[in-house]
């Protein structure tokens, strides 16, 4: 009973062009901490309020983008069920990665949008994690923007509808909101939650497979959004849009770019979702308001720049 199965976004691997400038961005500005290296081409990081070994891997590569996106699960049974059903009923490729530092087996399903979605349940407690005995809210004051944890991602690719069906039917998530196509024959974009967040993942219909629109990091308040914006302003981080509110999920947000061109989001607020809540529906002509609640107009970059 209570929260079962899939818990939350827990591990993401992003491609970046350069380590030095990426560390300035993710460590010094967003406020993550470096956990260590994997070989020569990967760096592990985590946020101050996460318990698990690490949550973000930056891999040095020739082009930016997403390698994989994983959910922490409560138990092995959940993952076995997803793997079996994905293979047998959906016919999706399933493979298992072992040996990722600090993590047990990670089971990957390649979904029709072209993304590798992973699931794991065994992971070591991080060396530095929130206090447990007579705990202070934080032990060492968060630095930079002080992001608390990974929050969600917006993934883009073809076959949006199929992938959404898999997320609901096979992974057990709920559709919290969606934007209908103008013809009303499907969704342009669908928001999915497996906990009480407005979304753990959103799936946008897009011709190219395996793309990521943004990876989102959690902040605690509109005020922290404002402080994050000040840090972006101070250090000339390229801001795409915001500070603003989304109509969809009600989240308070800034979109900005890492030095490699990956879009990040700092995200706060948003409603507390429960699976008995009705699904919220958006018509295609309200998409501007749904994403950019204040200006009500998408900027061009928002729709065209993906990695």
Q: Which of residues 222-241 bind its own copies (CB under 8 A)?
A: 222-223, 226, 229-234, 236, 239
Asked if 257 and 230 count as a contact pair (C-beta separation under 8 A), the reply is: no
* Active site annotation includes 277: no
CB closer to its own copies, 63 vs 128? 128
In the list 20, 40, 141, 183, the residue contacting its own copies (rule: CB under 8 A) is: 141
- Nearest-angstrom CA–CA distance, 149 and 146: 9
* Active site annotation includes 214: yes
* Active site annotation includes 143: no
Q: Interface with its own copies by CB under 8 A: which range of 15-23, 40-48, 125-133, 183-191?
A: 125-133
Q: For residue 79, how far is the Cα from the chain centroid?
A: 19
Q: Is 171 helix (H, G, I), strand (E, B) or coil?
A: coil
* Active site annotation includes 100: no
Pairing of strands 251-257, 239-245: antiparallel
CB closer to its own copies, 98 vs 236? 236
In the list 87, 89, 279, 303, the residue contacting its own copies (rule: CB under 8 A) is: 279
193 binds its own copies (CB under 8 A): yes
* Active site annotation includes 152: yes
CB closer to its own copies, 162 vs 240? 240
Asked if 107 and 94 count as a contact pair (C-beta separation under 8 A), the reply is: yes
* Active site annotation includes 273: no
Q: Is 160 helix (H, G, I), strand (E, B) or coil?
A: helix
Minimum CB distance to its own copies, residue 170 (Å): 9
300 binds its own copies (CB under 8 A): no
53, 100, 187, 214: the catalytic one is 214
Q: Interface with its own copies by CB under 8 A: which range of 103-111, 132-140, 155-163, 204-212?
A: 132-140
In the list 68, 220, 261, 298, the residue contacting its own copies (rule: CB under 8 A) is: 220
Looking at residues 80 to 109 of the shown chain, list those that interact with its own copies (rule: CB under 8 A): none
Buried b (16+ CB within 10 A) or exposed e, 63-91: ebbbbbbbbbbeeeebbebbbebbeeebe
- Nearest-angstrom CA–CA distance, 186 and 160: 9
CB closer to its own copies, 156 vs 170? 170
Q: Interface with its own copies by CB under 8 A: which range of 57-65, 102-110, 152-160, 279-287?
A: 279-287
- Nearest-angstrom CA–CA distance, 30 and 235: 12
Minimum CB distance to its own copies, residue 213 (Å): 19
Q: Interface with its own copies by CB under 8 A: which range of 89-97, 182-190, 201-209, 292-300?
A: 292-300
Sheet holding 106-110, edge to edge: 33-38, 42-46, 56-60, 6-16, 65-73, 116-120, 106-110, 94-97
152, 187, 206, 267: the catalytic one is 152
228, containing H or E segment: helix 222-234
Q: Interface with its own copies by CB under 8 A: which range of 18-26, 38-46, 111-119, 130-138?
A: 130-138
- Collect all residues with Cβ–Cβ distance below 8 Å to 240 and sequence separation of at least 6: 255, 256, 257, 263, 299, 301, 302, 305
- Nearest-angstrom CA–CA distance, 90 and 87: 6
CB closer to its own copies, 95 vs 230? 230
Asked if 210 and 115 count as a contact pair (C-beta separation under 8 A), the reply is: yes
In the list 183, 185, 272, 300, the residue contacting its own copies (rule: CB under 8 A) is: 272
Active-site residues, by number, are 152, 199, 214, 246, 255, 265
């Amino acid at each position: 009973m209570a929260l079962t199965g899939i818990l939350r976004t827990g591990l993401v691997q992003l491609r970046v062009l350069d380590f030095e400038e990426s560390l300035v961005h993710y460590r010094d500005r967003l406020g993550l901490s470096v956990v260590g290296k994997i070989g020569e081409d990967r760096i592990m990081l985590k946020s101050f309020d996460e318990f698990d070994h690490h949550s973000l891997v930056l891999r040095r590569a020739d082009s930016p983008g997403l390698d994989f996106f994983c959910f922490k699960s409560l138990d092995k049974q959940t993952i076995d069920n997803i793997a079996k059903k994905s293979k047998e009923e959906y016919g999706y490729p399933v493979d298992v990665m072992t040996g990722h530092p600090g993590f047990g087996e990670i089971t990957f399903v390649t979904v029709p949008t072209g993304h590798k979605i992973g699931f794991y349940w065994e992971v070591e407690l991080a060396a530095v994690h929130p206090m447990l005995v007579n705990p202070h809210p934080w032990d060492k004051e968060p630095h930079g923007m002080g992001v608390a944890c990974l929050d969600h991602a917006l993934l883009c690719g073809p076959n949006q509808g199929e992938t959404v069906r898999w997320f609901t039917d096979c992974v057990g998530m709920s559709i919290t909101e969606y934007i209908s196509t103008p013809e009303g024959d499907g969704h342009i974009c669908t928001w999915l939650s497996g906990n009480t967040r407005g979304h753990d993942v959103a799936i946008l219909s897009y011709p190219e497979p395996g793309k990521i629109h943004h990876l989102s990091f959690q902040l605690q308040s509109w005020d922290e959004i404002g402080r994050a914006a000040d840090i972006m302003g101070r250090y000339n981080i390229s801001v795409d849009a915001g500070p603003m509110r989304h109509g969809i999920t009600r989240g308070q947000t800034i979109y900005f770019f890492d030095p490699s061109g990956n879009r990040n989001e700092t995200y706060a607020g948003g409603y507390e979702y429960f699976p008995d809540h009705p699904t919220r529906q958006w018509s295609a002509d309200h998409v501007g308001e749904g994403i950019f609640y204040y200006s009500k107009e998408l900027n061009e970059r928002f729709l065209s720049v993906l990695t």
